[in-house]
Structure 1
């Protein structure tokens, strides 16, 4: 029994009471700040203490052990302490708990609605990051891929510096091709910005190819802009009003002004 609940399988969800309680623990950990979560763990009647604490411990661990569940690291550490996951005699001692908690924390930061925490996570004393900036940077690494827009953005040294810092916090620098990315980050966007920021683990020829392509794009855009200006000038000079004005300027004064 857990707080008067039968630990057998519940008929409505097919989950045992221990599994249902583990789901509730994870949900509360995802939604509450550390102080509020600590109070909830202390005050929740279902956790004071459950008769089958081992089943709850195992079910909770199974929901977090892969490191892909969005979960704030401070709350994960509270659970690890409560369930003694850090103990040397624990069967989980082969896991790198710090890395596991960090991985879930990154997933949690990238959940829509957590941009304030994300901006605070990427904040530097000499380079503060606003919520809007944090959202913009993540958008460059996720969502639909627009290669031309990305290459234009990458022409800015400031943008490249910002994205290198972003990759440092969210992926790690240098970026390895096999690195597992937290959702919603997309591999194509991450690899592009890693190359643009010279933060990709690759050879010198690859960096040179990227530089040549970027320079070629800049030249192409410049030529297109100059061609558009020339076309507009030609259209303006060939307009009827300008043609009449030109003819009037070529006539003798007494013909131009009757």
Structure 2
């Protein structure tokens, strides 16, 4: 049975479903109903050992011929499903299944997959970490890698598809988890690269305009102005990136369910009113200490209000939602109107915070006990 199974497995790996079905009917070893189940197991083991590229039609032909999916048989359905998935993955990565992979990728992501794109090449060839991180400088590469893994049905079993490098699959699969530190590392590489570019651009501008005159109030000399320009140009993008990281971390902290242990649960409950109180204090100090209209402070408060509203809305949406579409549009309209002015934004954030507290009034956790 093992020799016959190996021969059938080799033929199945080299031919299409129509040819295979006709060929199987001509094999005298399969005419015996007593020997056929043992031959079917031998075929399955031979295919499982090599993981050849088999199309879904070929897998279906073999399954029908040997009744692999018969619940009364000796083959574990989970084992059969795992083996079939690997054969199908190998087929999708082969030249014969390349068109099907592109169509499946298009259906999942609404984007085109290049036959010999950089992501497919990187998934097949082991690369050092630094080279993979440089590849992530293009944001579409990350989305493309995740889309390819989805098209290959990788997330079901998280086993490396045949023909792909395990280290590469492990690297790109980390982007599928939003809490993985690879997002932070990749973002740092992007921010650092842009910082170097902007710094060099500012340095070129300073050198092209050298010598720089001192400021009118005499606070900075020409050299001081040059250093300040280069520093601002270099640190601008990393500052924006770090601010975004902090806001996303704050949102994740606020969105956590009440029953989940988190850091500083009491402070988490009071975060929204504390942010509002801080903004109110900044506005009061600006009005008291700034002669005239504090334009810079008001502009900064508009940005701060946008962050406060975003955090409050995400907290309410994650912990008390989902809302009906009409309610969501209504709240979004009020959020837009509140963002245009300062004081209504504080009120809207406190209203959403109060709604969340009212719904969780019997389950609030002030301490992790």
**Partner in structure 1 of residue 176 of structure 2:** 199
CA distance in 2, matches of 1:226, 1:184: 43
CA deviation string 1:57-96 (max 9, x = no partner): 2311222356944433321222122111211211114535
Contact 1:171 1:181 (8 Å CA) reproduced? no
Gaps of 5+ in 2: 209-369
CA distance in 2, matches of 1:153, 1:192: 12
TM value normalised by structure 2: 0.46
Question: CA distance change for structure 1 residues 58 and 225 in 2, over 3 Å: closer, same or farther?
Answer: same
**Partner in structure 2 of residue 73 of structure 1:** 56
Structure in which a larger fraction of residues adopt helix: 2
**Partner in structure 2 of residue 181 of structure 1:** 160
CA distance in 1, matches of 2:97, 2:186: 34
TM value normalised by structure 1: 0.62
CA distance in 2, matches of 1:35, 1:143: 34
Q: Aligned with 2:187: secondary structure?
A: helix
RMSD of Structure 2 on Structure 1 (CA): 3.6
CA distance in 2, matches of 1:224, 1:144: 33
Shift of 1:209: 3.8
Question: CA distance change for structure 1 residues 224 and 33 in 2, over 3 Å: closer, same or farther?
Answer: farther
CA distance in 2, matches of 1:142, 1:223: 34
**Partner in structure 2 of residue 132 of structure 1:** 116
Question: CA distance change for structure 1 residues 218 and 63 in 2, over 3 Å: closer, same or farther?
Answer: farther
Contact 1:63 1:69 (8 Å CA) reproduced? no
Gaps of 5+ in 1: 1-17, 234-258
**Partner in structure 1 of residue 143 of structure 2:** 161
- Which of 86, 99, 102 in structure 1 is aligned with 2:85? 102
Q: Aligned with 2:107: secondary structure?
A: coil
Higher RCO, 1 vs 2 (CA within 8 Å, ≥6 residues apart): 1
Alignment of 1:28 onto 2:11? yes
Q: What is the number of residues matched between the two proteins?
A: 204
Contact 1:143 1:186 (8 Å CA) reproduced? yes
**Partner in structure 1 of residue 67 of structure 2:** 84
Contact 2:133 2:186 (8 Å CA) reproduced? no
CA distance in 1, matches of 2:55, 2:16: 9
